[in-house]
Amino acid sequence: MFKLNFINQKTNITVTGGLLSEACSSAGFPLDLVCGGKGTCGKCLVTIEVQGHRREVLACQFTVEEDLTVYLEDSQYLDQASLLTGHHNDATLPFDPALRKTHHTLSDLTPEGYSTFLRDTSLTLRRKFSHMVHQRGVSHMTVVRHQGLPIDIQPGDTTAHLYGGAIDIGTTSVVLYVYDLIDGSLLYTESSLNKQITFGGDVIARILCCQERESALDEQCQAIAHTINELLSRCEEDHPGLLEDLYHLVLCGNSTMAHLFFAMDPQALGRFPYANITEDAIHTHNHACGLNLPDAAVIDFLPLLGGFVGADTTSVLLTLPQDDRKYLMVDLGTNGEIALGNALTGFQTASTACGPALEGANIECGMRASTGAIEGITLEKGEICCQVIGGGAPIGLCGSAIVDAVAVLRSLGIIDPSGYLLTPEEYLTIHPGSPLAAHLAVLDTSDQDVVFYFSRGDKPVYLSQGDIRQIQLAKSSIYSGCMTLLKECGLPLSDVDALVLAGAFGNFINIENALAIGLLPPFPRKKILAIGNGAGHGVQRCLLNQGELDRASQIQACTEQINLADTPEFMEAYIMNMNFN
């Protein structure tokens, strides 16, 4: 047994060995293993002290074999990330939940009527009913009904208490909305990072985990269940007894998240033709899911749309107006999903990789949107100005700042159209005496990488030439995906009525800068709408109105999924759109 002292967090744990990253997670400080623990991203570099000697190690590669002290900064673990929430507030949607409670006196239920009352119900409920009707001291009972069918019974009159939850399972973050299903009021909104993130920062890394280690599927299933249970527990701390009467959860998430939630092996999704085990909506009960809710609680997971385009996209599409206008929806999250069309004539959808670089992965000073991250960069009177989350000295760049950085440096000519970052000498040749040249430097490394510093000191923050190349790959993927989908559908961009941006990244980026660097198609700014957590909005609609669950299946039925990798136009466009405008 080895003792680990997390000195900055004032926490001590004992482990039998294993990786330091696993110990950090066990201590409650999960690290950002963007590369899935392969030791390639460097995001888990941690200072340790062993027998009085300090050194830095990659936590995902370092095996604990003796007592040690861990100097972990708050910014290094994942509980600090800023997450996007936002509740449903469509006053035009009728409140019509699938869940109801009815009160009965046992004297009203005669033995002759038991069979009729229990028709089409579960064996578990029939057993419970058989005991309750003969239980001394019980003269009343409350029936919990889903779409009219009894799913559980409770002694006494509990009709004043009935709750439901809507959950958006993101690759990075999970958001829970808890509603009172008696009056439709929102009670709680809770969010946290998805504990699966210690298996990798993107869906491909998590699928590969399942291929490489047999236990990884169950471990990831348990990780998301643990995440949801923690969110539910937070609500119950403020509302004792809440979970005893929470009988409906509606969930959405991308295709990989759906597989991992239900412990369905996603390996087929990771190789051509990228197939899901099932794409239809999944309707089950909590006894099959193991959450801290009644076993009879109804669990609904919205339908997937094909390949990597999952139920989170279905949920977003539920929020679009039901008219004949043509919408181009782009969900900019850890993974990018695109949809074109409308609910009346149907949608064409596609997915494309965009998130890793734009959310900080593969960027030398990249990080998630947490305290210390630069979230915005502007040019004011010729000077570079940075907005830092939480104030204070910056320690890295989050996704919105990365887009700003490229746009500002491109506007100054510090980055040329090909993405080349000028050296200090090259910039001074064009702009003699410019103070901005002092921000440029050539690192003394084997590849002589050019960087632009936003801050210096103990924790310098900069953008490198290598970073810019990563951003070019990401931005071309989204732009080319949109243009290829339009071409596949025979629809010119001018015929699109609105460009809808969904997701956390799409909510926080500066849209003008996104247009400037060619991340988004050249679309009139006034026709671009950022809707925030559209997936969260849609899944709340399904909890509050049972008709929306039917509409989700209708959207699936009229949606065609297009695999961009199969289209020669996409690969050609992907190469052609690497440059900046």
Q: In which residue are the tokens 């469509």 written?
A: 90
State CA 145 to chain mean position distance: 32
In this model, does residue 408 exceed pLDDT 80? yes
- Tens of pLDDT, residue by residue over 481-500, are 999 999 999 999 999 999 99
> Residue 80: pLDDT above 50?
no
Q: How confident is the model at residue 295 (pLDDT cuts 50, 70, 90)?
A: very high
CB contact set of 506 (below 8 Å; sequence gap of 6+): 330, 331, 332, 333, 530
Q: What is the pLDDT of residues 14-65, one digit of tens each?
A: 878 888 888 887 777 777 676 667 777 777 888 888 888 888 888 888 888 8
Reported pTM: 0.85
3-state secondary structure 393-431: CCCEECHHHHHHHHHHHHHCCCECCCCCECCHHHHHHHC
For residues 172, 480, 310 and 314, what is the CA-based torsion angle, rounded to 10 degrees? 110
Alpha-carbon distance of 111 to 521, in angstroms, equals 68
Rg (CA), the chain: 26
> Does the pLDDT value for residue 193 go beyond 50?
yes
Structure confidence by residue, pLDDT tens digits, 497-519: 999 999 877 778 899 999 999 99
Going by pLDDT thresholds of 50, 70 and 90, the confidence category of residue 315 is: very high
Longest dimension (CA), the chain: 97
Q: Which amino acid is at 239?
A: H
Closest CA to 48 of 22, 67, 28: 67
H helix intervals, 7-141: 20-26, 114-117, 123-132
Reading the block at residue 57, the tokens are 């190690």
Closest CA to 511 of 282, 382, 254, 332: 332
> What mean pLDDT comes out for the span 262-270?
94
What's the rounded mean pLDDT across residues 303-308? 94
3-state secondary structure of 141: strand
Choose between 291 and 43: higher pLDDT.
291
Lookup result for tokens 């960087």? 451
CA 35 to chain centre: 17
**Cβ atoms 411, 427 nearer than 8 A:** no
Average pLDDT over residues 165-171: 95
Is the pLDDT at 204 greater than 60? The verdict is yes
Q: pLDDT tens digit string along 327-366?
A: 999 988 667 899 999 999 999 999 987 756 776 667 889 8
